[in-house]
Amino acid sequence: MQAAGVATKAHDLEAGEGGYDWPFAEQSFAAIVVCNYLHRPLFPHLLASLKPGGLLIYETFAAGNENFGKPSNPAFLLRPGELLTQMQSNPSVTMSIIAYEEGYVEQPKPAIVQRICARKAGKISVLDKL
């Protein structure tokens, strides 16, 4: 499906050799947004897929959320400070942290989350801004 310059793709990111299948290896993006999803093997690929100057906005559940409901499996909960650590998961990529939060939220339902907004180092060309 494609409309107004936006393409959608249905893909199982956790299939494939090594527990992940990253279909965007040949592409780069000005921004990547991830909400309520955690599959740790994808972090280096997310960072590599950002254009220089590109933004990553990531929010998902963190340790302590088991006290409020699902997800409660530690495999699906970020460890304390993990999003900050994951910004260094690809040694060939430098990320600058713009904002980071970790803790309790009431909306849309009580939960423990981590949020980060980070920019990939590098020059942004005029064409990238278009």
**For the segment 2-40, what is each residue's pLDDT rounded down to a tens digit?**
577 787 878 788 887 776 778 888 889 999 999 999 999
Structurally, at CATH architecture level, domain 28-120 sits in 3-Layer(aba) Sandwich (3.40)
- Tokens 């009431």 -> residue: 106
Q: What pTM value is reported for the model?
A: 0.84
pLDDT band at 122 (very low <50, low <70, confident <90, very high): confident
Write out the DSSP string of 36-61: S---GGGHHHHHHTEEEEEEEEEEEE
Amino acid at 59: E
**For the segment 69-119, what is each residue's pLDDT rounded down to a tens digit?**
999 999 999 999 999 999 988 888 999 999 999 999 999 999 999 999 999
User: Which residues, in sequence order, are CB contacts of 33 under 8 Å at separation 6+?
Assistant: 57, 58
Asked if 20 and 14 touch (Cβ cutoff 8 Å), the reply is yes
**For the segment 43-60, what is each residue's pLDDT rounded down to a tens digit?**
999 999 999 999 999 999
> Domain extents for the chain?
28-120
